[in-house]
A and B are shown apart, each in its own frame.
Chain A
Amino acid sequence: MGTKLDLFGEAYLRVLMRRQLLLSCTVAGALLLFLGAIPLLNRYLPHVMESRLLGLTVSWWVLGVGVFPLFTGLAWLYVRLSNDFEDEAIGMVDVATLPGHRRAARPENTKP
């Protein structure tokens, strides 16, 4: 771990937001690419999308069934990575800059 950052400093907020936003945008991008491709595939590859698999068309399988496990999986992945980063972000802060730091050092504020 490199130098610790001031909790209230510009650098810390920047890294905090940038990393989380990058993660969110990556996941959102993957999702939108997948959903956005479906109408185009329906339009330009109809013979594939209209072929049947156990009664349903491939296109129906994708939109009526397949997207849902994908959503759940992406959500799970995001929560994991986002919380991992939060753990990491806690460790990046210089403890001396925490709001409770000085108070905790004072004897009158420590509970018996």
Chain B
Amino acid sequence: MLRFLIGIGLPFLGVIGALPWVAAQQDRYVLGVPFIYAWIFGWFLLTSACLFICWHCFDRHRYANEH
């Protein structure tokens, strides 16, 4: 269950769930990039990290005998 929460729950919450809040930050910039773009660019890294955690902590052991 925890692996679904980390692997699917977090990215969907961050990208879809938080969108109303993110879209409201119109005049904020992060290093010159509008906040809405910066937020989604950040999730490129975070999504990959979430999936890596799923792999490293759970699935690597769970499916150890698969290719």
Q: Indicate whether A and B interact.
A: no
